[in-house]
């Protein structure tokens, strides 16, 4: 039986009965307007071994489960191939500014690397990157700029010579993003943020340009929306894999060990606004458990989500976010 979309297309082609092409086109537009964004959350209490070390085998299964369910494919290879081809040069944008405990765990990134390899991406065409070599190294990553295998290095000041402008955004983008990769995996860590309210997928790109300090006013709004609306980010982003294994509910984006907790989850999506909306609710729920006030009450409302949604970057409407919880 054809899907509703296929049925409408058939009507448009045939012009059958009362369904004129204009009417069918209007229905297709409404269907697109009402489309849902899927966010998958995979939790596993066994992801930590003794001493809070992350078990690589468990986190890889979590990441693979998340991508498979997000893709709707029956097996892992088909799932990763839905997003990447053997011709891609894939950048994995991590968040490493504040070092171990407040950065994307290397184990999560290694699981992403295995998925990319399963899709046929050559190891030499995978680049793990962030602002600088120093940030990556202090977060547990091994720098590899020119050696064999998967690359790992920072922008290190190699930005576009001219700034990119879009609305409130005005910054020079990393050449890794603009010149060296054809596809992107956004791999943030979920945390509270002292200005924006939270840091997750959208805020992770404050490590993708040269002057983030100039884009923090008004709770980073509309800067975050204008940044993530850039075609070079929107068109290259194939997957978002959020590290929510041990988020931080207060005092972020640096490490506040007393407010980090074992949520033990991986989130996956293709919509940065939807996954940030889900992440925001996770942070708010934890704050409530701890007796902390909502972010808006402490002067850190997550304003950018509504702005980004209105701009069409993604959706923050709970009725249009399909949250799939696993485990």
For 103-119, what is each residue's pLDDT tens digit? 999 999 999 999 999 99
DSSP letter string, 188-243? -EEEEETTTEEESHHHHGGGSBS-GGGG-HHHHTTHHHHHHT-HHHHTTEEEEEEE
Query: 232: burial class by Cβ within 10 Å (0-12, 13-18, 19+)?
Result: middle
The mean pLDDT value of the chain amounts to 92
300-326 residue pLDDT tens? 999 999 999 999 999 999 999 999 999
**Are the C-beta atoms of 119 and 80 separated by less than 8 Å?**
yes
Tracing tokens 């699981």 back to the chain, one arrives at 111
Q: What is the pLDDT of residue 28?
A: 47
Structural tokens at position 254 = 């640096």
Q: What is the pLDDT of residue 86?
A: 97
pLDDT greater than 90 at residue 26: no
Lowest mean pLDDT of 26-35, 139-148, 309-318, name the range.
Answer: 26-35
Q: What is the pLDDT of residue 23?
A: 52
Q: What is the pLDDT of residue 50?
A: 78
Q: Write down the pTM of the prediction.
A: 0.90
Q: What is the pLDDT of residue 8?
A: 40
Calpha distance 170→168 (Å, rounded) = 6
E-assigned strand segments in 68-124: 90-94
Task: Give the confidence band of 256 by pLDDT, cuts at 50, 70, 90.
Answer: very high
- Spell out the domains of the chain, with CATH numbers in brackets: 37-326 (3.40.50.11440)
Query: What are residue 174's DSSP bridge partners?
Result: 159
Task: Give the confidence band of 245 by pLDDT, cuts at 50, 70, 90.
Answer: very high
**Are the C-beta atoms of 165 and 127 separated by less than 8 Å?**
no
pLDDT greater than 60 at residue 34: no
């Amino acid at each position: 039986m054809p899907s509703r979309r296929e049925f409408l297309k058939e009507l448009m082609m045939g012009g059958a009965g009362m369904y004129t092409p204009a009417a069918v086109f209007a229905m297709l537009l409404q269907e697109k307007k009402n489309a849902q964004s899927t966010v998958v959350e995979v939790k596993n209490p066994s992801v930590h071994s003794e001493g809070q070390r992350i078990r690589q085998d468990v986190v890889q299964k979590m990441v693979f489960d998340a991508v498979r369910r997000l893709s709707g494919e029956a097996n892992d290879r088909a799932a990763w191939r839905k997003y990447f081809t053997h011709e891609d040069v894939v950048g994995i944008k991590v968040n490493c500014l504040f070092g171990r405990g407040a950065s994307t765990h290397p184990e999560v990134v290694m699981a992403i690397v295995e998925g990319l390899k399963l899709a046929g991406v050559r190891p030499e065409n995978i680049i793990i990157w962030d602002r600088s070599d120093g940030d990556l190294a202090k977060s547990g990553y091994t720098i590899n700029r020119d050696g064999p295998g998967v690359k790992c290095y920072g922008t290190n000041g190699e930005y576009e010579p001219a700034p990119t402008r879009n609305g409130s955004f005005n910054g020079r983008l990393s050449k890794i993003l603009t010149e060296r990769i054809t596809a992107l995996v956004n791999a943030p860590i979920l945390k509270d943020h002292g200005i924006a309210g939270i840091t997750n997928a959208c805020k992770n790109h404050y490590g993708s340009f040269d002057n983030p300090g100039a884009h923090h006013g008004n709770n980073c709004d509309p800067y975050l929306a204008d940044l993530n609306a850039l075609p070079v980010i929107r068109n290259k982003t194939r997957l978002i894999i959020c590290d929510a294994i041990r988020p931080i509910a207060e005092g972020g984006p640096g490490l506040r060990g007393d407010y980090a907790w074992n949520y033990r989850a991986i989130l996956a999506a293709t919509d940065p606004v939807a996954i940030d909306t889900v992440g925001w609710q996770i942070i708010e729920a934890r704050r409530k458990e701890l007796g902390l006030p909502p972010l808006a009450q402490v002067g850190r409302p997550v304003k950018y989500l509504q702005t980004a949604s209105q701009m069409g970057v993604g959706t923050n409407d709970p009725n249009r976010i399909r949250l799939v919880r696993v485990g």
